[in-house]
Structure 1
Amino acid sequence: MGRVEGKVAFITGAARGQGRSHAVRLAEEGADIIAVDLCRDIETNKYPLARPEDLKETARLVEATGRRIVTAEADVREIAQMSAAIDQGLEAFGKLDIVVANAGIMPILGGPNMQGWLDVIGVNLMGAQNAIHAALPHLTAGASIIATGSTAAFMQNDIVENPGADPGGAGYTVAKMMISQYIHELARVLSAQMIRANVVHPTNCNTAMLQSDSMYQIFRPDLENPTLEDAKGAFGVQQAMPIPWVEPVDVSNAVLYLASDEARYVTGTQMRVDAGGYLKMQSFHV
């Protein structure tokens, strides 16, 4: 206990899924939380996004650990909203030590209209940069920045039967690739200030993004209306270990390590929480 005792963490996409898990896990280890989420849908994203009541539940769970939390419904695509949320947290807690740029969408199967591409780049890439850039003026030596990547960042995005048919899905991979490179270079720039930056790359994770009709269709295109049971076996194909997905807490434990002083000299890394998914993908290209 107490691995991030006395620290303050700013987390995007915190209303549910991985973001909520990160907030609770960091709070369990002593951090106070600034939690933001859009709390409304984006049209090109085919599964429902979080709601205000989800963000309230995150607050309840954090407070149940004995830590404090400030919440804000805010859009990561708007840097002014990120700055306002951070200012609210600074007023309550007086400092900022950890940034977890986690907010993400997966607007797959949205058709050829480029809006899905624009939305996923806006949230997953520019949203992460907005959160980080809004936080940077408030970070000092010892601070830790953690971005959520994906095993998609290591996939070949050009192996599709109909290029251009699913810009939202393709944009997801591009966003995660670019986040990886961005954090790599950011870590280099910030190292002289003793501020760290790393990426955590989950494989399939047991959240609403994965447990959605559109994702079932991607993994089981041979079926007209696949269910979770239909897709579960296909989910397992992506990992070398015989599992269909990891749990949010598995990713949160990696985030906790990177946020803690245990990782005080760990920066610029691409940490995979993927049950050997990267290893399996690499074997396909040897």
Structure 2
Amino acid sequence: MINKNDSKRSERHNIKAGSPSDGPSNPARRRILATGLTGLGAAAVTVAGPTILGTDAADAQPSDVQPSLDAESKKELSGKTAFITGGARGIGLASGEALAAKGANIALFDIAEPNIPNVQYPLASERDLSQAKARIEALGVRCLTFKGDVRDLEAQKRAVERTVDEFGSLDIVVANAGVSQAGMIEEFSSDDISTVFEINVGGVIKTTQAAAPFMQRQNGGRIIYISSALGRMGNELFPIYTPTKWAVIGFAKSAAVTYGKSNILCNVVAPGLVDTPLADNLTVLRTLMPGTSNPTFDAVAEAGLAGSPLNVAHLEVEDVAYAVAFFAGEGTSKVSGEVFDVSYGSLSRSIA
């Protein structure tokens, strides 16, 4: 079956530098897009629960991660268990598929509630989570799904405990859930600020608190944190989101020091601009392209080409998922406290 996103992806990968664009005409705005805004990461957030959901999803299908992994590599994680927050769509789902393709059983924890206060765009739905489960199971592994909020430590603990009871271990955690905020500093209310920090930072800390005791008892595990290229720089259009992604990196390094003697490896993936609802929504697009009658993700990505050493406009979720799978594999068994920038060379001009 042809993936419904294939044609869209093909068109975006064919964007060339200098092609016509409805992007911003302001040269300063183009410079911002070319350097700072390429750092947008992507994730879903996760409220209530956890509640285990069902499996119905007639139109669900595996992503293009599956055919790109050979039969031998699929077995590398056989018998392992991965717990992924923000797993109903985007980077979380793609990471689940990449790990499932290598043989891991998967537990997805997500909000499955499109509208929550102080978040500027719709989040994942129960249908998204149900479809995600079907896509994972189509890869020949088992999958649990939980509807829950990463801000709720007890909900995460219950979900992790249920996962270990069902699958027998907790080997990989992908702390992916997060939300974006776009706008100038003075535009954000106290509640806006609290929400994004409680989800992006507090949620990551609570995921670690829920998972680490099980990994310590096993004397081993991998925790992979999803940050952003904006966690490596400042940016005036994402002034609240950006520091949360700096904080994820700082916390991951602290966790690496804390849990290293228990053979728990903690690393970070920091993506650039990714084609997910976190970036492709009207609030973000209008912030990036003010005054444009019909702002689109493609136009934003094209504007970013000017600062890309690789002439790449953006990432697909699978590009990030491969980095997650890399940190979950044997090739990184002696690696901890590191940050893997997946940003098509956009940080090559940054201070080392």
Q: TM-score, normalised by structure 1?
A: 0.90
CA distance in 2 between partners of 1:193 and 1:114 (Å)? 39
Q: Residues 45 and 108 of structure 1 are in contact (CA less than 8 Å); yes or no, is this contact kept in structure 2?
A: no
Deviating 4+ runs (over 6 angstroms): none
Report matched runs for 1:1-286 at 5 Å.
1-40=74-113, 41-109=115-183, 111-139=187-215, 140-157=218-235, 160=236, 169-223=238-292, 225-237=294-306, 239-282=308-351
Which residue pairs with 2:47 in the alignment?
A: none
Q: Residues 70 and 88 of structure 1 are in contact (CA less than 8 Å); yes or no, is this contact kept in structure 2?
A: no
Q: Residues 4 and 260 of structure 1 are in contact (CA less than 8 Å); yes or no, is this contact kept in structure 2?
A: yes
CA distance in 2 between partners of 1:103 and 1:224 (Å)? 31
What one-letter code is carried by the residue in structure 2 that aligns with 1:85?
A: A
CA distance in 2 between partners of 1:191 and 1:16 (Å)? 31
Moved more, 228-237 or 44-53: 228-237
Q: Residues 219 and 231 of structure 1 are in contact (CA less than 8 Å); yes or no, is this contact kept in structure 2?
A: yes
**Cα distance, 1:237 vs structure 2:** 4.4
Counterpart secondary structure, 2:250: helix
**Cα distance, 1:18 vs structure 2:** 0.4
Counterpart secondary structure, 1:278: coil
**Cα distance, 1:222 vs structure 2:** 4.1
Moved more, 208-217 or 73-82: 208-217
**Cα distance, 1:183 vs structure 2:** 0.7
What one-letter code is carried by the residue in structure 2 that aligns with 1:249?
A: E
CA-to-aligned-CA distance 1:111-146 (integer Å, 9 cap, x gap): 331222111111111101111110011003331000
CA distance in 2 between partners of 1:118 and 1:30 (Å)? 38
Counterpart secondary structure, 1:59: helix
Q: TM-score, normalised by structure 2?
A: 0.74
Q: Residues 198 and 270 of structure 1 are in contact (CA less than 8 Å); yes or no, is this contact kept in structure 2?
A: yes
Counterpart secondary structure, 1:201: strand
**Cα distance, 1:107 vs structure 2:** 2.5
Give the 3 Å change call, closer, same or farther, for CA 238–71 of structure 1 in structure 2: farther
CA distance in 2 between partners of 1:216 and 1:62 (Å)? 31
Q: Residues 102 and 148 of structure 1 are in contact (CA less than 8 Å); yes or no, is this contact kept in structure 2?
A: yes
Higher RCO structure (Cα 8 Å, ≥6 apart) = 2
CA distance in 1 between partners of 2:87 and 2:328 (Å)? 16
Cα RMSD (Å): 1.8
Counterpart secondary structure, 2:254: helix
Which residue pairs with 2:22 in the alignment?
A: none
Aligned length: 274
CA-to-aligned-CA distance 1:138-166 (integer Å, 9 cap, x gap): 00333100000100011124xx3xxxxx7
Q: Residues 222 and 328 of structure 2 are in contact (CA less than 8 Å); yes or no, is this contact kept in structure 1?
A: yes
Structure 2 unmatched runs, 5+: 1-73
CA-to-aligned-CA distance 1:184-235 (integer Å, 9 cap, x gap): 1211121111110000000001111111112212321242552334423224
Q: Residues 220 and 234 of structure 1 are in contact (CA less than 8 Å); yes or no, is this contact kept in structure 2?
A: no
CA distance in 2 between partners of 1:72 and 1:116 (Å)? 26
Q: Residues 21 and 248 of structure 1 are in contact (CA less than 8 Å); yes or no, is this contact kept in structure 2?
A: yes
CA distance in 1 between partners of 2:309 and 2:284 (Å)? 20
Counterpart secondary structure, 2:239: helix
Structure 1 unmatched runs, 5+: 161-165
Q: Residues 280 and 296 of structure 2 are in contact (CA less than 8 Å); yes or no, is this contact kept in structure 1?
A: no
